[in-house]
């Protein structure tokens, strides 16, 4: 009789801990993870408002991708340096469009026989922002 009571008390305690404590703790953890993710870019745009924001966006996007494996700003690695690219192409709409397409589809021929890997997950708009950042490296 006594043992049975104890067992059910333990069951109730476990049930309450699982529903109350455990549940709300998880919700808090995902909440705070989400809020740091969403506040980071918002803070960035506060720090760099106005004229620089397009360049900053391209630079931020580029920093999160694999470009640096093959490109440096002022040194040829596997691909041409960003300064070489900026010297070769004027930042016209046509060039920005063409280079954005090239980043997405990859390929070779303009600098040699080594090919750039394709980046199919990159949107055209984001690729254009990156091209604008690259063509500003003079
Ligand atoms: C595997 C190495 C590699 C990676 C990763 C890479 N590139 Fe390239 N990239 C190259 C090579 C090689 C070329 C030269 C292609 C050619 O000869 O047409 C190139 C060329 C370019 C060009 C000039 C294209 C042209 O036709 O003149 C741009 C702009 C460029 N890369 C941007 C990027 C960006 C932005 C990223 C990241 C999203 C990136 N690359 C990632 C190797 C790479």
Ligand 1 site, CB within 6 A: 62, 65-67, 69-71, 78-80, 85, 99, 102-103, 108-112, 114-117, 119, 130-131, 134
> Whose CA is closest to atom 42 on ligand 1?
116
Q: Is 11 assigned a ligand-binding role in the annotation?
A: no
Over its length of 138 residues, how does the chain's per-residue pLDDT go in tens digits?
556 555 655 554 554 454 444 444 444 444 444 444 444 444 444 444 444 554 569 999 998 999 999 999 999 999 999 999 999 999 999 999 999 999 999 999 999 999 999 999 999 999 999 999 999 998
The pLDDT value recorded for residue 138 is 86
This prediction has a pTM of 0.70
- The verdict on whether residue 119 carries a ligand-binding annotation is no
- Measured in Å, residue 79 CA sits from the centre of ligand 1 at 6
Q: Are 45 and 53 in contact (CB under 8 A)?
A: yes
Predicted pLDDT at 37 = 45
């Amino acid at each position: 009789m006594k043992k049975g009571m104890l067992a059910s008390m333990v069951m109730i305690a476990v049930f309450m801990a699982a529903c109350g404590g455990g549940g709300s703790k998880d919700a808090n953890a995902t909440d705070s993870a989400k809020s740091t993710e969403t506040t980071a870019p918002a803070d960035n745009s506060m720090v760099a408002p106005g004229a620089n924001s397009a360049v900053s966006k391209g630079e931020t996007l580029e920093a999160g991708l694999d470009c640096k494996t093959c490109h440096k700003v002022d040194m040829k690695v596997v691909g041409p340096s960003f300064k070489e690219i900026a010297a070769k192409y004027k930042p016209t709409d046509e060039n920005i469009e063409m280079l954005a397409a090239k980043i997405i589809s990859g390929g070779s021929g303009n600098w040699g026989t080594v090919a750039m890997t394709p980046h199919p997950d990159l949107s055209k708009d984001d690729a254009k922002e990156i091209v604008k950042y690259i063509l500003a490296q003079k």
